[in-house]
């Protein structure tokens, strides 16, 4: 059959693309290393805010543990939060802004939680500045909320906006079996997810083997519950579907869109779910690839743990920044 391309010409083009890729990847590394918040003393506004929110969420997750709360948890997160708040104040950033209020509030929630349990946290004065423990300011944000299974029974009748606003990440499952056909429905719905030039490079690795799920999540290092999900999905996108060095990060774009479609589908079906990041150390990523038989050509985007809602589940509030704060008009 006729070929319009010659092998020597394509070989030369491939070598040139590899050179371009190295150049662009080097630019990526320089930009990331220059702007990411690697140190608590990286004091740009977004750097400090992100460090505050990271530790706020870590503490919220500890406060949300229903059955096996570990009293006195979170010393490292509290220490890091304190330092981020100190840097925030030293730069004279707005103390009425979202992240600062979240930081102060979660400290109050932490103290209230332990006071209700009649548990003294002796290290708290050592790691949290007295200024951040003042009680004359209301705890206006952060903390936990209760998600009820009964509130999910009519999810199929809700508008999209109501469904999206009502979705919460749930890590603590009832342990009861689920209708796995509903998971498949969510994946079928996600078929409509847009992708670059409609290449649809995603895959969903599915396991109902709880022992295997436990091994995978041990390498993911962020699930934190003994009760394994009824279904664990690993979302990947194949680099085989990309044609140019400028598409080197497209897997994360397409995979993120796909995963969010799956999450909304699971919410529509009335299933509990939590997205779990896949930013793993190389040895952990290699182990997960072996466990799930994921080819080296595929980028592991995230995991989604799916299960049955318990009657009630305490989850982080995970407050959201108002849209007005992140919209940039020109």
What is the tens place of the pLDDT at every residue in 58-85?
999 999 987 677 899 999 999 999 999 9
Task: Over range 311-316, report the average pLDDT.
Answer: 95
CA distance 8 to 222: 48
Mean pLDDT of the chain: 96
What is the tens place of the pLDDT at every residue in 234-269?
999 999 999 999 999 999 999 999 999 999 999 999
The radius of gyration of the chain from alpha carbons, rounded to an integer in Å, stands at 23
Q: What residues pair up with 272 in beta bridges, in sequence order?
A: 307
pTM: 0.95
Phi, psi of 233 (to 5 degrees): -110, 135
98-116 and 75-90 are packed helices; what angle lies between their axes, rounded to 10 degrees?
Answer: 150
* Weakest-pLDDT range from 19-23, 131-135, 229-233, 236-240: 131-135
Nearest to 289 by CA among 230, 224, 220: 220
Top pLDDT among 305 and 141 is at: 305
Task: Over range 183-201, report the average pLDDT.
Answer: 98
45-63 and 98-116 are packed helices; what angle lies between their axes, rounded to 10 degrees?
Answer: 20
User: What pLDDT does 140 receive?
Assistant: 77
């Amino acid at each position: 059959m006729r070929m319009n391309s010659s092998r020597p010409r394509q070989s030369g083009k491939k070598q040139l693309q590899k050179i371009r890729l190295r150049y662009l990847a080097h630019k990526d590394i320089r930009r990331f290393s220059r702007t990411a918040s690697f140190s608590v003393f990286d004091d740009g506004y977004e750097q400090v805010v992100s460090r505050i929110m990271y530790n706020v969420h870590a503490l919220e997750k500890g406060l949300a543990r229903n059955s096996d709360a570990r009293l006195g948890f979170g010393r490292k997160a509290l220490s890091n939060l304190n330092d981020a708040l100190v840097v925030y104040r030293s730069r004279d950033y707005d103390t009425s802004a979202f992240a600062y209020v979240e930081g102060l509030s979660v400290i109050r929630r932490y103290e209230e939680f332990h006071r209700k349990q009649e548990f003294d946290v002796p290290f708290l004065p050592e790691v949290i500045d007295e200024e951040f423990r003042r009680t004359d300011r209301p705890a206006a944000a952060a903390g936990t909320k209760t998600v009820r299974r009964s509130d999910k029974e009519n999810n199929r009748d809700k508008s999209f906006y109501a469904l999206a606003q009502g979705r919460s990440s749930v890590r603590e499952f009832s342990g009861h079996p689920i209708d796995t056909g509903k998971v498949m429905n969510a994946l079928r719905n996600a078929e409509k997810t847009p992708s670059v030039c409609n290449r649809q490079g995603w895959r969903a690795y599915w396991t109902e083997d709880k022992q295997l799920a436990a091994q995978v999540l041990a390498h993911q290092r962020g699930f934190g519950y003994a009760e394994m999900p009824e279904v664990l999905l690993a979302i990947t996108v194949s680099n085989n579907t990309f044609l140019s060095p400028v598409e080197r990060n497209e897997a994360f774009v397409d995979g993120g869109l796909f995963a969010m479609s799956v999450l909304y589908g699971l919410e529509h079906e009335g299933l509990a779910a939590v997205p779990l990041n896949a930013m793993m150390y190389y040895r952990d990523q290699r182990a997960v690839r072996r466990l799930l038989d994921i080819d080296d050509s595929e980028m592991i985007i995230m995991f989604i743990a799916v299960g049955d809602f318990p009657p009630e589940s305490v989850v982080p509030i995970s407050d959201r920044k108002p849209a007005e704060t992140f919209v940039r008009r020109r």
